[in-house]
Amino acid sequence: MLEVKNLTKKFEDRLVLNDLSITVPDDEILAIVGPSGAGKTTLLRCITGLETPNQGEFFWNGKQFDPKNNDLIGVVFQDYQLFPNLTVMQNITLAPTMVKKEPLKEVKKRAEQMLTQLGLQGKEDIYPFQLSGGQKQRVAIVRAMAMNPKILCYDEPTSALDPALRDEVAKIILGLKQSEGMTQLVVTHDMDFAKNIADQIERVKALS
Amino acid sequence: MLNYISGIMPALLSGTRMTLSIFFWTLICSIPLGALVGLGLITKFKPLAWILNLYVWLMRGTPLLLQLIFVFYGLPLLKPYAIIFPRYQAALFAFILNYTAYFGEIFRGGFQSVPRGQFESAKVLHLSYPQTIRKIVIPQVVKIVLPSIGNEVINLVKDSSLVYVIGLGDLLRAGNVASARDVTLLPLVLVGIIYLMLTAVCTIALRMIEKRSSVWR
């Protein structure tokens, strides 16, 4: 269970998040929705340690953790941010081998399984620029999953995809919930998509 | 004429050796140093950035010829902190100092054009800063700066002729000596041809490196 308690974030004098608390039970999907500028992405960036909140505490299964330093959370960015100089496989294996010092062989085996699950078999040795948007996103998901996170966060996963692919992403997210029991946070402005996937919907309103 | 050419070739080739030696050592030292200066120029630690900016301004703001003269004739006069370099070392020191500044500026631009998202992406994967720089940033920066570095490399081949001012015998000087002695321009024509060949080799090498780094975009 992920708990965020009393999260407050200001940029200069502008209050973006005010004393926000959320709870996500294990294996559940929380969709964070709201108009643009409401602070959805900021909320996600605080949880993933990319932004330092002015106030707030984070708990995983009752134990406090530091968003900047933990191996609980994986992130799939809006624009994926794959490393263009590395092949698909290198993108996935880089962090597990360098950070966790896992043997390359094992990471590769796991990666290949996940790539196949997501219909990316045969793409291991090509570079990100050779992939379509939807494929890049799936590689980004595999890359995040390769670090064995407990929580997976998505920033606007549907914004760059055409409507047909939207359902694909929904399937993948729901699939991860079933097969891996992944706790997932999805920031989106797409209400239909949120209703499709989420166990719980958190609405964020613009404060100023 | 062929006899004359083969007569002066040994002198020209020995000058070429000096030119190449300045060229290689300057490149080998100033490219990595330039990368470090480039990183320093964008550091959040302001005093360092400030000092490096001053250094870059000095090096780019004065002629290399003047810097050579200062290093060789000037530094020994700085009593009681006199620094005395032999000619060759003085030339190398000045060239490395000068070219590091240019490379530093090029690398600064390169580092700044790596998207912030790449750093964030590396951060959420818990890559350390040195790991991020080595595996993600440097390869991307190298690709970005390659054409500009290539320009400087070609310039360096020709700039190396400035070492005559502190009495080193490089290619151009060897040609000059022969030309003055024999009252003919032929040695200088040969010098021109040798420079052209050197820069042609550099151009081809650079093209090959650029091609290799174009497997990804």
A183-187 vs A73-76, strand pairing mode = unpaired
The whole-number average pLDDT for the span A124-128 is: 95
Q: With contact defined as beta carbons under 8 Å apart, do B166 and B91 qualify?
A: yes
Is the CB of A85 less than 8 angstroms away from the CB of B115? no
Beta strands in A38-161 (DSSP E): 55-60, 63-64, 73-76, 151-155
In chain B, the number of structural domains is 1
Is the CB of A79 less than 8 angstroms away from the CB of B216? no
Nearest to B135, CA basis, from A98, A88, A126: A98
Q: With contact defined as beta carbons under 8 Å apart, do A205 and A189 qualify?
A: no
Give the separation between CA A103 and CA A113, rounded to whole angstroms.
16
Query: Out of A77, A85, A98, whose CB is closest to B117?
Result: A77
| Residue percentage of chain A with pLDDT more than 90 | 75
pLDDT tops 90 at residue B202 = yes
A169 to chain B, closest Cα gap in Å: 20
| 3-state secondary structure (DSSP) of residue A3 | strand
Residue A208's pLDDT is 64
If you measure CA to CA, which chain A residue comes closest to B118? A81
Say what the ipTM of the complex is: 0.92
Q: With contact defined as beta carbons under 8 Å apart, do A166 and A188 qualify?
A: no
Residues B15-37 pLDDT 10s: 999 999 999 999 999 999 999 99
B143 touches A: beta carbon within 8 Å: yes
Q: What's the mean per-residue pLDDT of chain A?
A: 92
Residue B81's pLDDT is 85
Is the CB of B143 less than 8 angstroms away from the CB of A49? no
Q: How confident is the model at residue A35 (pLDDT cuts 50, 70, 90)?
A: confident
Query: Out of A50, A127, A147, whose CB is closest to B125?
Result: A147
If you measure CA to CA, which chain A residue comes closest to B138? A85
Is the CB of B131 less than 8 angstroms away from the CB of A79? no
Q: With contact defined as beta carbons under 8 Å apart, do A31 and A89 qualify?
A: no
Residues B155-187 pLDDT 10s: 999 999 999 999 899 999 999 999 999 999 999
Query: Out of B117, B126, B215, whose CB is closest to A79?
Result: B117
The whole-number average pLDDT for the span A198-204 is: 91
Interface residue ranges in chain A relative to chain B, Cβ cutoff 8 Å: 48-50, 71, 73-75, 77, 79, 81-86, 94-95, 98-99, 127-129, 143-144, 147
Residue B91's pLDDT is 95
Residue with tokens 């020995």: B14
Residue A143's pLDDT is 96
Count CB pairs under 8 A between chains A and B. Answer: 62
Residue A77's pLDDT is 95
Is the CB of B135 less than 8 angstroms away from the CB of A73? no
pLDDT tops 80 at residue A207 = no
Query: Out of A48, A85, A98, whose CB is closest to B139?
Result: A85
Q: What phi and psi, each to the nearest 5 degrees, are found at residue A103?
A: -65, 135
Q: Is the dihedral of CA A42, A48, A53, A55 positive or negative?
A: positive
Q: Which chain A positions have a beta carbon within 8 Å of B127's beta carbon?
A: 94-95, 98-99
Q: Residue B205 region, left (φ>0) first, then alpha (ψ -120 to 50), else beta?
A: alpha
Q: With contact defined as beta carbons under 8 Å apart, do B15 and B173 qualify?
A: yes
Residues B63-121 pLDDT 10s: 999 999 999 999 989 888 888 899 999 999 999 999 999 999 999 999 999 999 999 99
Is the CB of A85 less than 8 angstroms away from the CB of B131? no
The whole-number average pLDDT for the span A5-19 is: 90
Residue B177's pLDDT is 93
Residue A162's pLDDT is 84
Residue A24's pLDDT is 93
Token readout for B199 is 């820069």
Q: With contact defined as beta carbons under 8 Å apart, do A179 and A102 qualify?
A: no
Residue span of the structural domain in which B174 resides:
2-215
Residues A130-183 pLDDT 10s: 999 999 999 999 999 999 999 999 999 998 888 888 888 999 999 999 988 899
CATH number, domain at B167?
Answer: 1.10.3720.10
Give the separation between CA B186 and CA B176, rounded to whole angstroms.
10
